[in-house]
Amino acid sequence: MKITALSPRTSSRRHFLRTAGAVGLGAAAAPAWAETMMRFSPPLPGGPNERPLVTDYPTKGAMILQRTRPPLLETPFEVFDQGVFTPNNRFFVRWHWANIPTDVNADTFRLAVHGHVNQTLSLSLKDILALPRVELAAVNQCSGNSRGYFQPRVPGGEWSNGAMGNARWTGVRLKDVLDRAGVKAGAIQVRFNGLDEPVVPDGPDFLKSLELDHARDGEVMIAYAMNGEQLPLLNGFPLRLVVPGWYSTYWVKMLSDIEVLDKPDDNFWMAKAYTIPDTPHASIKPGETDFKSVPISRMVPRSFITNLKPGETVHTGASTLVRGIAFGGDTGVSRVDVSLDGGKTWQPSQLGADEGKYSFRLWQMQFTPAAPGEQTLMVRCTNSNGVVQPAEANWNPSGFMRNVIETTQVKAA
């Protein structure tokens, strides 16, 4: 994309002002054209809580529009009640720069491997297919998933809980690709770049790095398929790094360049962006500034009720199903407990099939509301390392790593 000073286009501007003028500035958050709007539930504290529900992104079904350009598309929460794997056409989308190739040729595409290696490689998709194929179910979650629930609110993509998804990834081990190039002694990190580029000449290109041992652990993979299909372009066609158990920021899309480094990567996206306070739950007091920052890394456990919405009515005296999804973060789900009394007592739910330790796991339970009135349901995941979701929400200025126990108020009648 060329940079030009964009001057208002008279027609669209007039159109907008005409519509916005009629309802006043308070309606500024709502687009001027007719669109299907949705509201987050629970609402984002202080709002705005409305977003367009759009279908005009190629290869995508109905998605929540957080930002048109560069695209930020959120998965509507009801999708998570439909199964443990998130369909590709409903999988969330997040890009940092608007300069995204919209034309990717599968025959001419090449993945470069260079830097501190014995042999520089330029691999075609055919070359990559010739390597041993591996498959893994894993949750891909944005570092800032649920940022819109932080209080006090923080700037950024104002996501509800749908900046996450679970897919079955197919591809090759990163280790096998690195071995083919031959990592030289003295290498310490591996840096990844995709085909997307900054729209401004000096803007920091989006680059992410992993420690060499992590990159060679046999789990980190270069995926060419997602739920049995080639990746949608918006999710990184043709290749995407998959870093199981780690936040999505490392899952570089349209992966085209792998550089083996003999010095720590100090690029902006590692050293400054995507850093968290080095404190329990990455949490600090709002306003606090005296803390050490470290790059975000491993995910933490989360769980959600997916079949009952806040405010929904259930029947007193009737056996009622409550179900949802959970994930352990950087390891599997050990248990999911449910509280029907606002967190005083907890009872175990029944877990669904184990699709692998990095996958969403279904859980469910039957309960019978005893008396009419408000009923506070809570769900809490404990992972295989014994890490439990906290009762209190964390806070940090970037809105990262939220994993507080979720509460859903329903009404028994």
Q: How far is the CB of 372 from other proteins (least distance, A)?
A: 36
Nearest 5°: the CA angle 112, 116, 117 is 65
Q: From CA 267, how far away is CA 139, in angstroms rounded?
A: 26
Q: What is the C-alpha separation between 190 and 166, in angstroms, rounded?
A: 25
Binding letters toward other proteins, positions 180-209, x by CB under 8 A: ------------------xxxxxxx-----
Task: Single out the residue of 39, 83, 317, 348 in contact with other proteins (rule: CB under 8 A).
Answer: 83
Candidates 39, 69, 184, 315; binder of other proteins (CB under 8 A) is: 69
> Which residues between 279 and 308 bind other proteins (CB under 8 A)?
none
For the bound state, the minimum distance from the C-beta of residue 55 to other proteins, rounded and expressed in Å, comes to 11
Q: Name the segment binding other proteins (CB under 8 A); options: 68-76, 288-296, 299-307, 318-326.
A: 68-76
Helix residue spans in 122-267 (DSSP H): 125-129, 174-181, 212-215
Q: How far apart are CA 211 and CA 191, in angstroms?
A: 9
Q: Which amino acid is at 201?
A: P
Beta-bridge mates of residue 340? none
Residue 329 interacting with other proteins (CB under 8 A)? no
Which long-range contacts link 389-395 to residues 24+ away (Cβ below 8 Å)? 389/300, 389/301, 389/302, 389/303, 390/281, 391/343, 393/149, 393/150, 393/151, 394/281, 394/282, 394/283, 395/150, 395/151, 395/152, 395/283, 395/284, 395/285, 395/286
Q: What does each C-alpha distance from 353 to 98, 209, 321, 350, 406 come to in angstroms?
A: 39, 33, 18, 10, 22
Touching other proteins, residues 247-276 (CB under 8 A): 268, 272
- The stretch near other proteins (CB under 8 A) out of 14-22, 114-122, 315-323, 340-348 is 14-22
Looking at 89, 303, 320, 349, which residue binds other proteins (CB under 8 A)? Answer: 89
- Closest approach, Cβ 111 to other proteins, in A, equals 13
Give the separation between CA 258 and CA 178, rounded to whole angstroms.
9
> Rounded to 5 degrees, what are φ and ψ at 274?
55, 40
d(CA 139, CA 330): 10
Is the CB of 185 or the CB of 290 nearer to other proteins? 290
Please identify, using beta-carbon distances, which residue of 168 and 240 lies nearer to other proteins. Answer: 168
Task: Enumerate residues 348-377 that contact other proteins by CB under 8 A.
Answer: 354-359
**SS3 of 281, please?**
helix
Q: How far apart are CA 91 and CA 164, in angstroms?
A: 8
- Joined together, the tokens standing for residue 216 give 């060679």
- The three-state secondary structure class of 142 is coil
Which residue lies nearer to other proteins by CB, 316 or 334? 334
- Binders of other proteins among residues 228 to 247 (CB under 8 A) are 228-230, 232-233, 237-238, 244
Q: Which among 12-20, 180-188, 306-314, 365-373 is the span making contact with other proteins, rule CB under 8 A?
A: 12-20
Site for other proteins in 111-150 (CB under 8 A): 125, 129, 132-137, 148
Closer to other proteins at the Cβ: 9 or 184?
9
Contacting other proteins within 18-47 (CB under 8 A): 20, 25, 28-29, 31-32, 44, 46-47
Question: Residue 42 corresponds to which tokens in the numbers above?
Answer: 């629970």
Given the complex with other proteins, which of 269 and 320 has the nearer CB atom? 269
| Interaction residues for other proteins, span 93-112 (CB under 8 A) | 97-98, 100, 102-107
Nearer to other proteins, 3 or 294 (CB): 3
Return d(Cα 315, Cα 81) in angstroms, integer.
21
DSSP 106: T
As measured in angstroms, the least distance from the Cβ of 48 to other proteins is 6
CB of 7 to other proteins, least distance (A): 6
The tally of CA atoms less than 13 A away on the side-chain side of residue 304 is 23
- Nearest approach, Cβ of 305 to other proteins (angstroms)? 22
- Min. distance of Cβ 284 from other proteins in angstroms? 16
Question: Which one among 143, 160, 166, 170 touches other proteins, defined by CB under 8 A?
Answer: 170
Give the shortest CB-135-to-other proteins separation in angstroms. 4
> How many whole angstroms separate alpha carbon 246 and alpha carbon 358?
10
